[in-house]
Amino acid sequence: MPEGSKNPCAIKNYLVDYKETLQSGITIIPMQTEHAEQLEALQYIVFPTLAEEEILHADQYKKHVEIFPEGQFVALDNDKVIGATSTIRYHFDLNNNEHHTFFEIMGGGWFTTHEPNGDWLYGMDVSVHPDYRSKGIARALYRARHYTCRQLNLKGQITVGMLNGYAAVGDSMSIDEYFQKVKSHELFDPTVSVQEKVGFEIVGLMKDYLNDPTCGNAGAVIVLDVSKSI
């Protein structure tokens, strides 16, 4: 289990103590600036079809750690970065899913959209190297994010999950139809359906969210209430 102080007076220092070691030996710890180059390389491996302007780069990762260190985590195999997650704090109205793009919400990759008093933890991405998948690493990264939510008294996690399964059926149905079938569990999506298993709830569809043909440029708006366990 993650180690960390439960003393409210020590919230500013809780990151120093956060560490989860999985049965595989993989460790989840707060992101550091020295991880930046490896993180950029991982982006190209995990998101090969993502537009270049939506890929996160080393200098941007260093800025993320400066802006909001509490929201950035890595998964390590010894000193090798094999997974990561990046987040910001953000005010979000679940009753009014105002449209935005991935490029806009991440401030062009620099996280200038981070709102220090935001009530939700907005997840920009979760990435796991293909050689390390199905080992519980993504769930552990979500768990680290949930730890941050609880330490900072946030409402929970919110993100837009890529509908990556759409590429296989795009010739036979619209993205709206695909979204509804995923939401009603008629179809299994390799990203969003897995996020549901973690505990996320699908609350909407965000079209033209990013530039990636594998998901029809769209994503599912999903939320994970802080009261839920992962």
Report the largest interatomic distance among the alpha carbons of the chain, rounded to a whole angstrom.
56
Beta strands 73-77; 120-128: pairing state: unpaired
Which pLDDT score, from 0 to 100, does residue 213 have?
87
Which pLDDT score, from 0 to 100, does residue 13 have?
56
Which pLDDT score, from 0 to 100, does residue 14 have?
55
Q: Are 146 and 203 in contact (CB under 8 A)?
A: no
Which pLDDT score, from 0 to 100, does residue 15 have?
58
Which pLDDT score, from 0 to 100, does residue 135 have?
95
What is the full per-residue pLDDT of the chain (230 aa) written as tens digits? 443 334 444 445 555 579 999 999 999 999 999 999 999 999 999 999 889 999 999 999 999 999 999 999 999 999 999 999 999 999 999 888 789 999 999 999 999 999 999 999 999 999 999 999 999 999 999 999 999 999 999 999 999 999 999 999 999 999 999 999 999 999 999 999 999 999 999 999 999 999 998 899 999 999 999 999 99
E strands within 112-177? 120-128, 156-162
Which pLDDT score, from 0 to 100, does residue 11 have?
45
Residue 46 is given by DSSP the state H
How many residues does the structure list for the chain? 230
Domains of the chain in start order, with CATH, are 8-225 (3.40.630.30)
Report field, pTM of the whole predicted structure over 0.95: no
Distance CA 169, CA 188 (A): 12
188-212 tens-digit pLDDT: 999 999 999 999 999 999 999 999 9
Which pLDDT score, from 0 to 100, does residue 6 have?
42
24-35 tens-digit pLDDT: 999 999 999 999
Q: Are 30 and 56 in contact (CB under 8 A)?
A: no
